[in-house]
């Protein structure tokens, strides 16, 4: 059975979280949600999502500082991030360039779903090549 892609949602508005969780789960994704950057860092210590959908304006640590820490860590740097924000015009080109996509709020759910799906093939391909290499090594050691 094929594993469902995992999406971490980092959003402090409960109504938006509910909509995003419903959207992704209806489309076959596994979801985990948190309302803060600190909560996201805690979750990343225990699990690795295939993609992150996040706001930049968050309580208890900014989304921008979370994004910097995420991309500076070799274990999490490859996780694609889709930023959903009402303040996209304030993003520096450097900050925007580390995201797989930047979408304006209110969120167009079709665009968000398309952005996440577009970001996932690279993640899935990387996992398949790592798994294939591991299988090759284990076959060679018999």
Give me 10's structure tokens.
């980092």
- Taking 3-state DSSP, the helix, strand and coil percentages for the chain, each rounded to the nearest 5, stand at 50, 15, 30
Count of domains for the chain: 1
Q: Considering the domain boundaries, does residue 1 fall inside one? A: no
How wide is the angle at C-alpha 35 spanned by C-alphas 32 and 93, nearest 5°?
A: 95
pLDDT digit string (tens) for 88-124?
A: 766 666 767 889 999 999 999 999 999 999 999 755 5
Q: Considering the domain boundaries, does residue 90 fall inside one? A: yes
pLDDT at 26 over 60: yes
CATH of the domain at 28: 3.40.50.2300
Name the residue range of residue 68's domain: 6-137
What pLDDT band is residue 127 in, cutting at 50, 70 and 90? very low
pLDDT at residue 136, rounded to an integer: 37
Rounded to the nearest 10°, the torsion over CA 6, 10, 15, 19 is -30
Q: Considering the domain boundaries, does residue 47 fall inside one? A: yes
Q: Considering the domain boundaries, does residue 142 fall inside one? A: no
Distance of alpha carbon 44 from alpha carbon 42, whole angstroms: 5
């Amino acid at each position: 059975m094929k594993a469902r892609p995992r999406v971490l949602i980092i959003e402090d508005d409960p109504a938006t979280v509910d909509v995003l969780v419903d959207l992704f789960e209806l489309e076959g994704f596994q979801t985990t949600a948190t309302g803060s950057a600190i909560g996201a860092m805690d979750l990343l210590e225990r699990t690795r999502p295939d993609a992150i959908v996040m706001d930049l304006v968050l309580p208890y640590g900014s989304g921008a500082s979370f994004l910097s820490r995420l991309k500076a860590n070799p274990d999490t740097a490859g996780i694609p991030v889709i930023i959903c924000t009402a303040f996209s015009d304030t993003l520096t080109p450097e900050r925007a360039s580390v995201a797989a996509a930047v979408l304006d709020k209110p969120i167009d759910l079709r665009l968000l779903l398309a952005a996440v799906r577009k970001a996932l093939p690279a993640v899935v391909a990387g996992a398949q090549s790592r798994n294939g290499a591991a299988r090759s090594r284990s076959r060679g050691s018999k």
